[in-house]
Amino acid sequence: MIVAHGGLAEGFLSALTRVAGPQENLWPLSNEALSGEALTARLGELLDARARGREVFLFTDLDAGSCGLAGRRLLADDRVRAVFFGINLPLLIEFVFRQAEPLDKLVPLMITKSRAALGVRP
Amino acid sequence: MTVVLFRVDERLIHGQVVVGWGRLLEAESLVVVSDELAGSASEQEIYRTGLPSGLEADFWTEAMAAARLPEVMESDARILVLTPDLGTMWRLAVAGVPIHEVNVGGLHAASGRESVLPYVYLDPDDRQRVRDFEAAGVRVTAQDVPGGVRVRLERVL
């Protein structure tokens, strides 16, 4: 699940679709106009409808935001396997192409690729 | 301690508060006034985990806040006081906390509430609290983020 402020989650999915093709395993959600309680409930509904026994990762923008908070609640309840925050497109690309790999190998790879993709020129 | 903002926001600690208001007002500490959260170490941990370095959060009961805020407001630290609803903020004022203005952030759609702004939904008790504050000389304005339109809530009830 990608949950983020404004239209960012849909935007990430749109960008991913452009560079890596359709993504049936990524579900976007905005926190727009939702209280913290309503956001957590909406995420729970999404999990009920689509997880079907599979492990779920939650990707979000701000750790300190309501999306990150909802993620930590789901993590505490063992409803998601991990919460990634401060995400960027390279991190999601790595997830898309390596999601079948074991978590202990996948997570460091995603973080490394995400950080390596950040820079400035000249 | 300088209270840089008294804010009513049912999400409490979230992006608009930490990134928007917190950065602009250079807040060093968030004081959440909630009897429920003050009694839950696990909930406090969930809120604190995502905070950026340099920003702390305390969770006080209403009684603690009423007793401590007038005193600690004399120190130099910059704090932002958060309550989940207008009723809690009103009770702080009644208890003697010197609140001169209330900022209202997100109060979202719920049963019994009606929209007055896209991010502010109020029930009859909330409306009365706004009138109570204004009658006591405390301005109540809605503004979700810095730079957003500031609306005097009394005028849109």
Length of chain B: 157
pLDDT class of B78 with cuts at 50, 70, 90 = very high
- Judged by CB atoms closer than 8 Å, whether chains meet at B15 and A33 is answered as no
Predicted confidence at residue B77, as pLDDT, reads 82
pLDDT class of A76 with cuts at 50, 70, 90 = very high
For A7, list phi and psi in degrees, rounded to 5.
-100, 20
Tell whether the model's pLDDT for residue B1 goes beyond 60: no
Is the CB of residue B14 less than 8 Å away from at least one CB of chain A?
Answer: yes
- Judged by CB atoms closer than 8 Å, whether chains meet at B50 and A5 is answered as no
Residues of A in contact with B47 (CB under 8 A): 69
Tell whether the model's pLDDT for residue B28 goes beyond 70: yes
CA distance B108 to chain A (A): 6
For residues A110 and B43, what is the distance between their CA atoms, to the nearest angstrom? Answer: 29
- Judged by CB atoms closer than 8 Å, whether chains meet at A68 and B106 is answered as no
Q: Which of A5, A34, A69 sits opposite B46 (nearest CB)?
A: A69
Predicted confidence at residue B50, as pLDDT, reads 86
Residues of A in contact with B12 (CB under 8 A): 36
Residue-averaged pLDDT of chain B: 94
Contact A85, B18 (CB under 8 A): no
Q: Check residue B156 and report its DSSP letter.
A: G
Predicted confidence at residue B80, as pLDDT, reads 96
- Judged by CB atoms closer than 8 Å, whether chains meet at B10 and A36 is answered as yes
Could you tell me which residues come within 8 angstroms of residue B13 by beta carbon, excluding any fewer than 6 positions away? A64, A69, B30, B32, B47, B50, B51, B57, B82
- Judged by CB atoms closer than 8 Å, whether chains meet at B12 and A36 is answered as yes
The letter for the amino acid at B19 is V
Predicted confidence at residue A108, as pLDDT, reads 94
Predicted confidence at residue A73, as pLDDT, reads 95
Nearest CA in chain B to A72: B46
3-state secondary structure of B81: strand
Q: Which CATH superfamily is domain B2-147 in?
A: Phosphotransferase system, sorbose subfamily IIB component (3.40.35.10)
What residue segments make up the domains of chain B, in order of their start? 2-147
Q: Can you name the CATH fold of A2-88?
A: Rossmann fold (3.40.50)
Closest C-alpha among B19, B15, B20 to residue A5: B15
CA-to-CA separations, B38 to A36, B42, B61, B78, in angstroms, rounded: 17, 10, 6, 21
Give pTM, 2 decimals: 0.89
- Judged by CB atoms closer than 8 Å, whether chains meet at B14 and A36 is answered as yes
Is the CB of residue A66 less than 8 Å away from at least one CB of chain B?
Answer: yes
Tell whether the model's pLDDT for residue B71 goes beyond 90: no
Tens of pLDDT, residues B114-157: 999 999 999 999 999 999 999 999 999 999 999 999 999 999 99
> How many other CB atoms sit within 10 Å of the CB of residue B23?
12
Contact A57, A82 (CB under 8 A): yes
Predicted confidence at residue A74, as pLDDT, reads 96
Tens of pLDDT, residues A5-56: 999 999 999 999 999 999 999 999 999 999 999 999 999 999 999 999 899 9
Tell whether the model's pLDDT for residue B21 goes beyond 80: yes
Is the CB of residue B106 less than 8 Å away from at least one CB of chain A?
Answer: yes
Could you tell me which residues come within 8 angstroms of residue A10 by beta carbon, excluding any fewer than 6 positions away? A28, A30
Q: How far apart are the first and last CA of chain B?
A: 33
